[in-house]
Structure 1
Amino acid sequence: MASKSYQPLERDGHSSVKVGDCLYMWGGLLSGVHDSKKEEAMMDVYHLPTGTWDQKPTTGNPPPGYCGYSSVAIGREIYYFGGVGIGYHNSLHCFNVDTFNWKELSPSNSDRVPMMKAYCGMVSAHFDDEDYLLIIGGSGSPSVNTPKQPDAQYSADGRCNEIHYYRISS
C-alpha cells in the first residue's frame, strides 16, 4: 500500500534546522503547532535524499508561541530560544531528533536572563571542552522584571543588542 504524500502548510516566521540528512521545520504563522484542537505537537521533517516531507508526533514540553524562534543544532539536538505568540518568550527548549522529545532548559546564568523576545540571532560555540549557545539581539517587549544588560542598547520599539550565553552542560 503506497503511503499518502505529505506537504507542510504554507507559513512564515518558522524555524528550519538541518541535522544529518533531514531538515526539521517547527512553528511559523499558520503552522498550527499550538492548536488546542490537536492532542500532540507535530514536527515537519524533510528527507533530503528522497525529497519527501513527513510529519511526526513529538513528546515532552514544546516551546510556547508560534513563530520567531532562534534555533541551532548541536549534534543530534536542536535548541530553540524565544519566540512570539500571545506575547514574547525567553525560554530555551531542546529537541532530540532521535527520540522526538522536547525538554525545557534553564539558563546557565539565571541572574542575567535575556528579555522576552523573538527574531534574535543564535549560534553554537565549543571552547574549553564545553558547548555554548550565544543569543544575540532580538526584538521584543522589555519587561520591568527582566534586568537590562549593562552596556546593551534598547530601542523604543523593542529591539536590543543583548548578548547572552548558555552553557549546555549546566
Structure 2
Amino acid sequence: MGKKGKKEKKVKGAEKTAAKMEKKVSKRSKKDEEDLEALIAEFQTLDAKKTQIIETSCPPPSPRLNGSLTPHPEKDELILFGGEYFNGQKTFLYNELYIYNIKKNTWSKIDIPNPPPRRCAHQAAAVPQGGGQIWIFGGEFASPDGEQFYHYKDLWVLHLQTKTWEQIKASGGPSGRSGHRMTYSKRQLIVFGGFHESTRDYIYYNDVYTFNLDSFTWAKLSPSGTAPLPRSGCQMTTNQDGSVVIYGGYSKQKVKKDVDKGTVHTDMFLLKQEGADKWVWSRLNPSGVKPTPRTGFSGTLGPNNRILLFGGVYDEEEEESIEGDFFNDIYMYDMGKNRWFTGQIKGPKTEK
C-alpha cells in the first residue's frame, strides 16, 4: 500500500476511534447532565422573575474566570458575561452582564429579562449590525462541588441597542462543549474545537462549524488539508481577508488507567475559504521570536493586522502534582509577514 493509502487508513481509524469515544462519553455523561438540568432549571425559574431592564452603576465585578469580555462593535465599551468562581469550598456560576466604559473607566450592571442560563468557558463574538450584537455559544455549568459538568450547545444573541436577549434555535450545530473558540467572519460565525467532559471520560474536538447570519443555519465544514489536532483554549483570530488563524491550545489523553497526560500545543494553522463550499487548512511556520509554550493566555486582533497575545500559564504535570509558571509578557504576530515578535510597552513619559 502506498503512503497515501496508509495515511487515509490512519485518518479513518482516528475518526472511528473519536466516534467511539464520543459515544462513550455521551452515554456516561447523560446521567450527570440530567442531574444538573434540574439545578439549571431552578436558576432559570429565579431569572424568570426579572421582568424589566435595570441598569445600575456598580464597582468592578467580583472575581471570576472563564467569562467572556467582548468589545462593543460600535462603542468604546467592553461587555462581560458569565464566568465562574471557586471559593475553596463551592463553585459559583454566573450569567450576569456588565458593561465597562473604556473612556470613563466605569462599570455598570444590566439586568435583562430571560438571559441565557449560568455558564463559563463559553464563547462570545461581536457582530456590527443592528446597533451591535454579541453572539454567545456553548460553555458549561458545574455542580457546586465542581465534580459534575453540563455542556451547553445553545446559541444566543444579545441585542445591544434594545438590551434584549434572544435564543436562536437552529438544528445541525456543534455538540455540547466548552473551551471551544468562535469568531466572526464575512456574515458568519465560525466555531472550532473545544472539549466535553463527564465525571469519568472526556473528548477533545477539532471540528469546524459555521453559522450563517443571513439564513440562520448551521453547517459542518469538511476542509481539505491537514487540520490541527483536537484541542481547547486555542487562539482564534479572523484575518483582514476573512481567513482564520489558529494558535496553540491544550488537550489531554489517557496514558494508563487514572493517569492523563496533557499536551500544550504551540503550532499554528490557517483556515481559508476558497469557494462557496470549499475550505482549506494549511499549517503556518512563522519566523521571529515565538511565545514560549503556555495555555490560558488571552489574545485579540490589534492594529496593523497583528494578533496580540498576553500572559498565560505553563503547568509542569506529574502523576500526583502540578506546578504552574504564570506569565505577564506580550507577544505580537504579524499576519501579513507571518512573523512573531515580543511586544514592548512604554510607560508614561516622566518629566526631567
- Verify same fold: TM over 0.5: yes
Q: Distance in 1 between matches of 2:253 and 2:223?
A: 18
Structure of greater relative contact order (alpha carbons < 8 Å, 6+ residues apart): 1
Letter in 2 for 1:162: D
User: What secondary structure does 2:134 align onto?
Assistant: strand
Whether 1:114 aligns to 2:216 is no
Match of 1:96 among 212, 217, 222: 212
Structural mapping, 1:11-50, within 5 Å: 11-19=119-127, 20=129, 21-30=132-141, 33-34=152-153, 42-50=154-162
Q: Distance in 2 between matches of 1:122 and 1:7?
A: 26
Tell me how many residue pairs correspond in the alignment.
142
User: What secondary structure does 2:267 align onto?
Assistant: strand
Whether 1:138 aligns to 2:246 is no
Contact 1:108-1:166 at 8 Å conserved across structures: no
Query: What is the CA deviation profile of residues 42-71 of structure 1, one whole-angstrom value per residue up to 9, with x for unaligned ones?
Result: 421100001111112113x21234111111
Contact 1:79-1:95 at 8 Å conserved across structures: yes
Give the superposed CA RMSD. Answer: 2.1
Query: What is the CA deviation profile of residues 6-49 of structure 1, one whole-angstrom value per residue up to 9, with x for unaligned ones?
Result: 11111100000111221110101027534xxxxxxx42110000
Cα 1:32–1:122 change in 2 (3 A) is closer
Q: Distance in 1 between matches of 2:253 and 2:182?
A: 21
Q: Distance in 1 between matches of 2:185 and 2:232?
A: 20
Q: Distance in 1 between matches of 2:211 and 2:251?
A: 24
User: What secondary structure does 2:140 align onto?
Assistant: coil
Whether 1:56 aligns to 2:168 is yes
Q: Distance in 2 between matches of 1:161 and 1:65?
A: 26
Greater share of helix: 2
Map of 1:38 onto structure 2? none
Task: Look at both structures and tell me which one has the larger radius of gyration over its CA atoms.
Answer: 2
Structure 2: 5+ residue stretches without partners: 1-50, 52-112, 142-149, 197-201, 255-260, 279-352
Q: Distance in 2 between matches of 1:71 and 1:55?
A: 17
- CA-CA distance at 1:160 after TM superposition: 0.8
Q: Distance in 1 between matches of 2:268 and 2:235?
A: 9
Percent of residue pairs identical: 26
Structure 1: 5+ residue stretches without partners: 35-41, 144-155
